[in-house]
Structure 1
Amino acid sequence: MNSQGQLQRSLKLWHVVSIGIAYMAPFAVFDTFGIVTEITTGHVPTAYILVFAAILFTAFSYSKMVRLYPIAGSVYTYTQRTMNSHLGFIVGWSTFMAYLALPMINALLARVYLSPAFPDVPTWVWPVLTIIVITVFTSIGLKISASMNGLLVVYQFLIGFMFIILTIISITNVQPDRLMSIDPILSSNIEISALFAGAAILALSFIGFDAITMLSEETIEPKKTIPKGIFLVVFIGFTFFFTVTYFMQSLFPSVSQFDDIESASPLIAQFIGGDLFLTVFVSGALASVLSAGVAAQMSASRLLYAMGRDGVLPKKFFGYVHPKFKTPIFNIVLIGVISLSSLLIDLETAASLINFGAFTAFTFVNLCVIVHYLRTREKGSSKSIFSYIISPLIGMGFVLYLWVSLELFTLYVGIIWVLIGFGYLLYVTNMFNKQPPHIDFDELEG
């Protein structure tokens, strides 16, 4: 551990859950509604049920691994300890793309939401201002940042509940028989292939539940708190996503009446509540940008910290912890600087990086559970076989399906990123003549 300071255990369950939900960004449900409605022919809630069932298996795998290795690093640590230290580095490098891209996406979203409202302000101002604010909040201390995230998440949910209530009122006024209809879930024109295609997109809504595993070293009783947090984040997220989309779908079974289906949600907000609620809705979107941005930058900086503490990256810089704030401040500032690349890329490019990195993490955490079981248990009960073999295989199978759904451009970018990481690995290991440094798990027992 760096002699200049160490991470402080200060996070309780509610801190962990709020960070996880903030990282998932509850308002993501509104970003994808129009697109997935068209793909699934009006069955977004059913697609959410499918992706929830699949993500749940991966969540089980994360809960098992975090009990074994309650330290910062997430899937990087799990692969390093369970399989191979060199492979652990490559997996960590691959998943780091997602952590780098999420802060950029939040900066891009700030520009998307604010530029039309303030056309006289140069478009580059909003991403830069967002990055500065997020970097400052993350740097001054995790507990303060977590508390701020909690407030922003509550605000998003309040607006979400207002959205649901206004939607129900509109359904009652427009067509009351749709209020408790089964059609958004199951109807005559439902197609299984379309549902899975929609679920592949909606899986992005759940990306972030695994981010809280990065907070193990700052969480009180991480072996108990982190697994509980994982499942609470997944269940709360699903409940919110399903409820919102069910009533939205009941009111608008089709989005064909909208010229731009990507903008369906704000147009629906204006339809159910007028310009006043549209303003409130946009403020909720900005709250999502800030809360998700803090959570994303927090997790990315701690992944760098774990790799720096290991000596995989230069320890003096990446393993440094500020003695007063107890945060890896150099990493936080570095992530902020990298996020400025949002001025040069578009939302689709950033989203592609998230897809590749997140699916890598989901695949390997399921694989780690299987490998750990095979190495430590010669025989097991039917229950343990389901928990450690069948369950992760189901989770991995669904993730592999998501891999197939990725566009070639995404795969090209991901492969280039992996090759860069492989080249650096050759350098730090002197052409594999030495092992990358390992995490000192015993230092956390105190």
Structure 2
Amino acid sequence: MEKAALKRSLGLWAIVGLGLGYMTPTIVFDTFGIVSEETNGLVPLAYLLALGVMFFTAVSYGKMVQVFPSAGSAYTYAKETIHPYLGFLVGWAALLDYLLLPLVNALIIRIYMESAFPNVSSWIWVVGYVAIVTAINVWSMNKTSNINSILVVFEFVLIVAFLVLSFVRLSQGMGQGTILTFEPLFHTNIEIGSILAGATVVCFSFIGFDAITMYTEEAVDQKIMPKAIMYTVMIGGAIFFIASYFTQALFPSVSNFKVIDDTLPEIAFKVGGQLFQIVFLSGAFAATVASGLASHSSVSRLLYVMGRNGMLPRKIFGYVHPKFKTPARNVIIVGIISLLAIAPTLELISSLINFGALIAFTFVNLSVIAHFVFKHKRYKTKKDILDYIIMPMLGAGLTGLLWINLSTESFLVGIAWTGIGFVYLLFLTKFFTKDVSSYDFGKMEDPQIIGNVAEQTKGELAEQYRGVH
């Protein structure tokens, strides 16, 4: 009987769409008040700094995804290039933010629905939303991608509408009263420490370019992955920067906002009135659902790879549904975790996300050096030195700079989570007497998993392309 495997059905723009959906571009308006207060009115500069850090890291992801075309992302790269034990701990740390992101989306949906229907019990919205997202992810990756694409397009249209209205309001004298101004990027009260702190806050917005590496085994051609990663980073970064620039120009100070923690509703109302506020909130709702679909499917695939390799119980986490060709059990597990959104606050959960993400980013950069320089001796030409030493070192250094600016709460919870992972690793390896490299990819993968698309018929490929495009 043929072993079930993930289905190769995603084209370049389908994967980019999933990455952008994961990044939730409208989050720039939700967090504007927090970041503006943190940076003293220099939100675009914080996004520009974060984009620079993510650029170097995205280049490293592009290199590693070609070497290891597996759905394991940072976990796989660290495991295969540095040490299996370290790879496990990197994957475990990354699980923290991957598991929390679907929960955050469920929580945001709960907040939106509570404000619209205050007399309805909160748990109803969480359970309903999680059930729908889980069902779609179990059913088909194509369905997830197609629905995500529709939601992302709707979101982009509304952002363009916001930019047009912002142009009009600035021309009429609102805020800075001019479209071209350096005030959102530089002024006399600038503080480097505050900008770094702001960049640390906004860097979680970029989580999405790394998450799409989870779809490597479902790409119609794994060679498109480096391009998909870079497109996601640059398009997402451009949206964040432009949107935050116009918003900062319109609102130089946060003193006029009633609610600093989530300024999106007030921004929409002040720029376009009540009707635009309603429409824009619907776009934010769509963006959150798109992010929920993408983040839910991504973490399910990380769990799948760790289960397939025996790092987690294989019968549960390494399972692929024979009909739907999705890691159905993992999707359901993530859905159950997302139900925790019934209770906590958005501030509590979102403050914990960056720990695992920045750990993963750092070790992806270090994996490039370990693989190309130490293993394959690629340091004899100027191009090799630039590509495999200077670029990843800049990526690791800049990521580390953001990491040390994390909040104390994020550090404490992140360290506690990593400690749990370390204890589990001791159990898994029988106190390091068992080499986890014995969990070999080759012993568990069939040709379809490692990318032998040639075995699929032309009719199957044509059907997949039609499904995506």
TM-score range relative to shorter protein:
over 0.9
Task: Give the drift of 1:378.
Answer: 6.0
Query: Superposed, which structure 2 residues align to 1:39-438 within 5 Å?
Result: 39-175=38-174, 177-222=177-222, 224-372=223-371, 373-377=373-377, 379-436=379-436, 437-438=439-440
1:263 alignment partner, SS class: coil
Distance in structure 2 (CA, Å) of the matches to 1:246 and 1:359: 25
| 1:348-401: CA deviation from partner (whole Å, max 9, x where unpaired) | 332233111101101110111111122211642122112111111111112112
Task: Give the drift of 1:193.
Answer: 2.8
Q: Partner letter of residue 77 of structure 1?
A: T
Distance in structure 2 (CA, Å) of the matches to 1:298 and 1:74: 14
Distance in structure 2 (CA, Å) of the matches to 1:27 and 1:210: 19
Distance in structure 2 (CA, Å) of the matches to 1:186 and 1:379: 39
Q: Partner letter of residue 266 of structure 2?
A: L
Q: Partner letter of residue 128 of structure 1?
A: V
Task: Give the drift of 1:80.
Answer: 1.0
Q: CA RMSD in A?
A: 1.7
Q: Partner letter of residue 205 of structure 1?
A: S
Distance in structure 2 (CA, Å) of the matches to 1:225 and 1:124: 41
Q: What is the aligned residue count?
A: 444
Distance in structure 1 (CA, Å) of the matches to 2:93 and 2:263: 33
Distance in structure 1 (CA, Å) of the matches to 2:20 and 2:146: 13
Which stretch shifts more, 97-106 or 428-437?
Answer: 428-437
| 1:265-304: CA deviation from partner (whole Å, max 9, x where unpaired) | 3212101211111111111111111110111110111011
Q: 1:380 to 1:161 in 2, by over 3 A?
A: same
Task: Give the drift of 1:118.
Answer: 0.4
Q: Which runs of 5+ in 1 are unaligned?
A: none
| 1:155-190: CA deviation from partner (whole Å, max 9, x where unpaired) | 111111111111111112235851222222233333
Q: Partner letter of residue 300 of structure 1?
A: V
Distance in structure 2 (CA, Å) of the matches to 1:277 and 1:229: 33
Task: Give the drift of 1:6.
Answer: 0.6
Distance in structure 2 (CA, Å) of the matches to 1:386 and 1:158: 39
Aligned 8 A contact 1:178 1:251 in 2: no
Which stretch shifts more, 391-400 or 145-154?
Answer: 391-400
1:275 alignment partner, SS class: helix
Task: Give the drift of 1:259.
Answer: 2.6
Aligned 8 A contact 1:4 1:322 in 2: no
Task: Give the drift of 1:201.
Answer: 1.2
Give me the identity figure in percent.
45
TM superposition outliers: structure 1 runs of 4+ over 4 Å: none
Distance in structure 2 (CA, Å) of the matches to 1:330 and 1:442: 20
Which stretch shifts more, 104-113 or 399-408?
Answer: 399-408
Aligned 8 A contact 1:138 1:332 in 2: yes
Task: Give the drift of 1:445.
Answer: 4.9
Q: Partner letter of residue 429 of structure 1?
A: T
Distance in structure 1 (CA, Å) of the matches to 2:192 and 2:218: 43
Aligned 8 A contact 2:73 2:214 in 1: yes
Q: Partner letter of residue 96 of structure 2?
A: M
Task: Give the drift of 1:408.
Answer: 2.2
1:414 alignment partner, SS class: helix
Tell me the TM-score normalised to structure 1 length: 0.96
Q: 1:347 to 1:241 in 2, by over 3 A?
A: same
